[in-house]
Amino acid sequence: MAVPDKPALEGLETKWDAAWREQGTYLFDRDRAKQQGRAGVFSIDTPPPTASGSLHIGHVFSYTHTDVKARFERMRGKTVFYPMGWDDNGLPTERRVQNYYGVRCDPSLPYDADFTPPQSGGAKSTRAADQVPISRRNFIELCEELTLEDEKQFEDLFRQLGLSVDWTQTYRTISDEAMRTSQRAFLRNLERGEAHQALAPTLWDIDFRSAIAQAELEDRDQPAAYHRLAFHRTDGGGDIEIETTRPELLAACVALVAHPDDERYQPFFDSTVTTPLFGVEVPVLPHPLAQKDKGSGIAMICTFGDVTDIIWWRELDLPNRTIIGKDGRLVADAPDVISSDAGRAAYAELAGKTVFSAKKRIVELLTDSGELIGEPKPFTHAVKFFEKGDRPLEIVSTRQWYIRNGARDADLRARLIELGKELSWHPDFMRVRYENWTNGLTGDWLVSRQRFFGVPIPLWYGLDENGERDYDRVLTPAVEALPVDPTIDVPPGYGEEQRGAPGGFEAEKDILDTWATSSLTPQLAGGWGHDEELWNLVAPFDVRPQAQDIIRTWLFSTMLRSALEDDRAPWSDAAISGFIVDPDRKKMSKSKGNVVTPADILDAHGTDAVRYWAASSRLGADAAFDPQNPTQVKIGRRLAIKVLNAAKFVLSFPVPQDARITHDLDASMLATLDGVVADATRAFESYDHARALEITESFFWTFCDDYLELVKERAYNQSDVGQASAALALRTALSTLLRLLAPVLSFATEEAWSWFEEGSIHRSAWPEPTAIDGDPAILAAVSEALIAVRRAKTEAKASQKTPVARVVISGPEATVAAITRAEGDLKAVGRIDEVEYGSGDSLSVADITLVPQEV
C-alpha cells in the first residue's frame, strides 16, 4: 500500500491523464459493445466546440455535467461511447482567420503556393481595407492551419479538466469524412424532395456577404426615427400620411397597407396613391398584420425593409423592387417603374450610397419637396442582427438552397413536435422552448452560405446553348465520388473543358451552413454511411447534452435531419445546461467582455475543485461565477483535500482477514450509507448530478466529522473486540464513498483508490447497497449526542480533549435508546467516564461535569 506521507492535489492531473492514456481507460471497447448489444452501450452526442479562439468557463461548466454522467454509466457497467468533435468550419472561423493573419478571401485571385501571411497573432486593425486579399485556396489553408492549433489547445484543456472522452473517436466538421457525410445527407434530402432552391427575399449580412438563417438571428436595440411622409391620392383627393423608419427604401415601395377594420382607411382600399419624390403609383390594401395604433395606422410596404414586408409581399402577391445590393448599398439602376425625369434624378442622388448615407440624403430631398411632414421623431426599437455580426441585416433577393423544416408542412411540424415529446428532457421545461421554436417557424431552413471555409454544396448546373445557367438542370455527383468540390471537380459525363462553356456546366460556389453539418453530429461520430456496425451499436444515441440557447439551432436541426432520414429522434434524452453568469447575474459572453477563461482557475484551485463547482449546479439552472472569489470552487478544493486525508487516515487501520461487522454503530453507519448509495444512484440515473453530489457530500462530512471520530479509538486498539468491525466498516465506507464521488472528483478519488486497489476507480463497479442489518437511527443519534457534548465543552470554555467525569444527556426515549447502543464509542471520543440519561423533547446535554485540569 503506497500511501504518501503528505497527500496533495497538485500534480494529480498530469499524473493521471498520463496513466489513463497509457492504460486506455476511456477507450470505447467495440468487442465488448458487440457482446453487450445496443442496450449495453451508453452513447453521447457530445457538443463539438467551435474552434475559433479560446474556451471559456461555460465550456468547463457544461462539459463537466456530461462527463459526470459518462463516468457514472461507465461504472454501472455500460460501454460508453464518448467522442469529441471540433466544429471548425463556418463564419466564426473565417473571422478569426481574418483577424489573426490580417487577410481576407478574394475568390477571383489565383493560388499562391509561396504565400506568407502578413502577420500571425492578431492585428491592431481588423478593418477589411487593412487586410491582404488572398485566393480562396490560400484562405482555406490558413483556416485549416489555425483550427488545428486551436483544437490542440482545446484538447489539452479538456484533458486537464479530466473529461473521460475517447480521444481516438474524434471528428472535424471540415474533414473529408465529415464532408462526405454532410454532402451525402444533403443529396439524400434533395433526392427525397426535402431540399429545394428558390429565388426569394433573404436576410443578408453585408459584412460577411452571406445569407443568414432564422435560427441565427438576434434582436438588438437600435436608435431610429419615425419620418412622416405624404403619399398623394391619384383621385386628387389629398394625401395619405404614413410613418416609416426606412425612408431610404421609398423607391422600393410597392403598396400601402392598413388593417381591414380601420375605418379611417376603409374608403381607400383598392384605390391607388403615388409615392413622394418618385411618383410611382401603388395600391392601398388591407391586411390583418397592419397595426391600427402604430404611427398613423397605415404602413408603407417596401421590398424589403423588415420581415413583415416579406409576409405582406408574399401574401398580397406584390412586385419585387429590391434596391439594396449585397454590399449594403443602393443599386445603381432605379426600378423600372420610376419613369419620370424627376423621379430618376432623385434616385440618382441615392444610387451607390450606404443605407445610412441614403437615408440622410432622402430626408434632405423630402424636406426640400415638402413631402416630409414635421421633424423625425426619435425612438429605440429592436433590429435584426446576425448573432455574430456587427451591422443590422438587410433583406435582398437571392437564390438560395433550403431544407424543408415544417414551417410550411403541417404534417412534418406535427411529427417534430411528437418526437420532441418522446424525448426525456432534463429539465423537462426545456421542451417548451423546442415546441415554441418549432411552432414559430416562418420559413424553410436556409442552408446555403456565400462563404469559403465550409462543406461545398455538391452540385453543378447545366448551361444552355447561350452559356446561361439552367437552374432546373441540377447535376449531382455519384455517392462514391464524395466528397467533391464543384469548383474543382467536374460532374459525371463532363470534362473540365466544358466548365463555363455553352452546353457545359457551372459549379455551385456556395457552401453549406455550418449547422447543416453540425446537425449531423450523431452521424459524424457514429459512422453513418461508412461504418454500419458502429452506427447500429450507438444510434439512436442516449443523450444530447447542450446549452439552452442553441435548442433552436443545434437540437432542432439535428432532430429535423433525423426525422427526415430515419423518422425517429436521434437520442432518448436531452440534457440542457444553464448559463454561466457574472456576479451581477449577467450572462457571460465575449461581446459583453465578462468571459472568464478557465486555465487560470484550473491552475490556481485544481481540476477537482472546478469540477465540484460545475457539478453543484443542476441542469437548466444558471450559475454565478466570480473569479475574484470563487466560493464554490474553494469548497470543492476543501472536499478534494479531505478525501485524500480521510483515505490516508482510514487506510492506517489494518483490516483482519476474518473481519466482520459486529458493532451496532458500524452496522448503523453502513446501513445509512446504503441509503446514500440508493439515493445517489437514482439521482444520477435521472441526470440530477447536483442532487447526487449533495447527498454524497453530506454523508461524507458526517462520516469524517462524526463516525470516524467516534470509532477511531476502537479502530486503533488492536485488543478491542470491536477493532476488526470498525476497521472493516471504515474500509468498506471508504471504498463506497470514493466511488460515489469519482464522477465528480475524478483525480482525487483515482489517487486515493490507487493506494489500496488495483486498476482504475473509473473502471470499477458502481457501489451497490450492502443490505447490512443495521439501524440508521443509531448513527444519527450518537452523532447528535457527540455534537451536543462538543458544544457543552465549548460553552464551558474547555478543550475538546478535556476529560468528562459525568454527563447527562436528555432526549426522546427512542433517541436515548439508540445512543446507548453506541455508548462505548461516545465515551471514548468524548473522554467521558459516566453517561446518565434523562427525558426531553429534543436531545441536549442537560449537565456536564468536567474533570479539573492541573495548572
pLDDT in tens, 225-260: 999 999 999 998 899 999 999 999 999 999 999 999
> 679-687 — which CB contacts under 8 Å span 24+ positions?
680/740, 681/766, 684/68, 684/69, 684/72, 684/743, 686/426, 687/69, 687/426, 687/573, 687/575, 687/619
- Find the largest Cα–Cα distance for the chain: 116
Nearest Cα to Cα of residue 447 among 90, 806, 79: 90
| pLDDT at res. 445 | 93
Does the structure show a pLDDT above 70 at 593? no
| pLDDT at res. 813 | 95
**Element at 104 (helix H, strand E):** strand 103-105
Does the structure show a pLDDT above 70 at 573? yes
Place of cell 490516508: 648
Instruction: Report the C-alpha gap between 828 and 152 in whole angstroms.
Output: 56
Question: Could you give the percent of the chain with pLDDT greater than 90?
Answer: 80
Helix extents (H) in 487-625: 514-518, 521-526, 532-538, 556-566, 598-605, 607-615
**Residue 546: beta bridge partners?**
576
pLDDT in tens, 390-402: 899 998 888 899 9
CA angle (670, 674, 676) in 5-degree steps: 110
Does the structure show a pLDDT above 80 at 588? no
Q: By three-state DSSP, how is residue 464 classified?
A: coil
Task: With beta carbons less than 8 A apart as the criterion, state whether 564 and 192 touch.
Answer: yes
State the pLDDT confidence band at 595, using cuts at 50, 70 and 90: low
Place of cell 456496425: 533
Does the structure show a pLDDT above 90 at 208? no
Strand order in the sheet with 844-850: 832-839, 804-811, 844-850
pLDDT in tens, 508-552: 999 999 999 999 999 999 999 999 999 999 999 999 999 998 999
Least confident among 214-223, 277-286, 541-550, 705-714: 214-223
| pLDDT at res. 388 | 78
Instruction: Report the C-alpha gap between 476 and 490 in whole angstroms.
Output: 10
pLDDT in tens, 413-445: 999 999 999 999 999 999 999 999 999 887 899
> 793-796 — which CB contacts under 8 Å span 24+ positions?
793/848, 793/850, 796/848, 796/850
Take residue 442 and report the three cell numbers written for it.
Answer: 416562418
Amino acid at 613: W
Give all strands (DSSP E) within 686-794, no chain letters: none
Mean pLDDT of the region 606-624: 95
Instruction: Report the C-alpha gap between 567 and 554 in whole angstroms.
Output: 18
Take residue 737 and report the three cell numbers written for it.
Answer: 464513498
CB contact set of 580 (below 8 Å; sequence gap of 6+): 56, 57, 58, 61, 587, 588, 596, 622, 623, 624, 625
Chain centroid to CA 397: how far?
Answer: 32
Nearest Cα to Cα of residue 703 among 635, 771, 786: 786
Least confident among 280-294, 556-570, 573-587, 794-808: 573-587
| pLDDT at res. 594 | 61
**Element at 60 (helix H, strand E):** helix 57-75
Take residue 490 and report the three cell numbers written for it.
Answer: 467536374
C-alpha dist (Å) from residue 168 to 155, 389, 803: 12, 35, 61
pLDDT in tens, 60-107: 999 999 999 999 999 999 999 999 999 988 777 888 888 899 998 888
Helix extents (H) in 440-582: 514-518, 521-526, 532-538, 556-566
Nearest Cα to Cα of residue 261 among 289, 240, 241, 234: 289
Could you tell me the pTM of the whole model? 0.85
Mean pLDDT of the region 322-348: 94
Amino acid at 108: S
Amino acid at 159: R
Q: By three-state DSSP, how is residue 461 classified?
A: strand
pLDDT in tens, 159-194: 999 999 999 999 999 999 999 999 999 999 999 999
Instruction: Report the C-alpha gap between 702 and 302 in whole angstroms.
Output: 71
Mean pLDDT of the region 803-812: 95
Instruction: Report the C-alpha gap between 174 and 107 in whole angstroms.
Output: 19
**Residue 90: beta bridge partners?**
none
Q: Could you please report the per-residue DSSP string of 690-702?
A: HHHHHHHHHHHHH
> 490-499 — which CB contacts under 8 Å span 24+ positions?
490/460, 491/460, 494/460
Strand order in the sheet with 505-507: 469-475, 460-463, 505-507
Q: Is 434 exposed, middle or buried (0-12, 13-18, 19+ CB in 10 A)?
A: buried
Q: Is 370 exposed, middle or buried (0-12, 13-18, 19+ CB in 10 A)?
A: exposed
Nearest Cα to Cα of residue 536 among 32, 28, 27, 34: 34
Q: Please state, as a whole number, how many other Cβ atoms lie within 10 Å of the Cβ of residue 645.
A: 14
Does the structure show a pLDDT above 90 at 215? no
pLDDT in tens, 638-687: 999 999 999 999 999 999 999 999 999 999 999 999 999 999 999 999 99
- DSSP secondary-structure letter at 273? E
pLDDT in tens, 749-783: 999 999 999 999 999 999 999 899 999 999 999 99
pLDDT in tens, 463-516: 999 999 999 999 999 999 999 999 999 999 999 999 999 999 999 999 999 999
Length of the chain: 855
| pLDDT at res. 855 | 54
Mean pLDDT of the region 12-36: 97
Does the structure show a pLDDT above 70 at 624? yes
Query: Which pairing describes strands 541-547 and 571-577: parallel, antiparallel, or unpaired?
Result: parallel
Instruction: Report the C-alpha gap between 215 and 445 in whole angstroms.
Output: 9
Nearest Cα to Cα of residue 454 among 145, 106, 137, 88: 88
φ and ψ at residue 741, rounded to 5 degrees: -90, -15
Nearest Cα to Cα of residue 545 among 687, 420, 680, 422: 687
Place of cell 432542432: 556
Q: By three-state DSSP, how is residue 53 classified?
A: coil
Instruction: Report the C-alpha gap between 834 and 827 in whole angstroms.
Output: 8
Does the structure show a pLDDT above 80 at 51? no
Instruction: Report the C-alpha gap between 293 and 714 in whole angstroms.
Output: 83
Mean pLDDT of the region 735-742: 98
C-alpha dist (Å) from residue 159 to 104, 639, 744: 34, 21, 15
Instruction: Report the C-alpha gap between 725 and 714 in whole angstroms.
Output: 9
State the pLDDT confidence band at 125, using cuts at 50, 70 and 90: low
Does the structure show a pLDDT above 90 at 300? yes
C-alpha dist (Å) from residue 155 to 21, 150, 159, 611: 13, 9, 6, 17
Take residue 764 and report the three cell numbers written for it.
Answer: 470499477
Nearest Cα to Cα of residue 221 among 378, 326, 441: 378
Place of cell 442496450: 39
Task: With beta carbons less than 8 A apart as the criterion, state whether 212 and 443 touch.
Answer: no
State the pLDDT confidence band at 734, using cuts at 50, 70 and 90: very high
Mean pLDDT of the chain: 93
Task: With beta carbons less than 8 A apart as the criterion, state whether 91 and 115 touch.
Answer: no
Instruction: Report the C-alpha gap between 404 and 189 in whole angstroms.
Output: 9
**Residue 512: beta bridge partners?**
448
Instruction: Report the C-alpha gap between 249 and 359 in whole angstroms.
Output: 8
Does the structure show a pLDDT above 90 at 816? yes
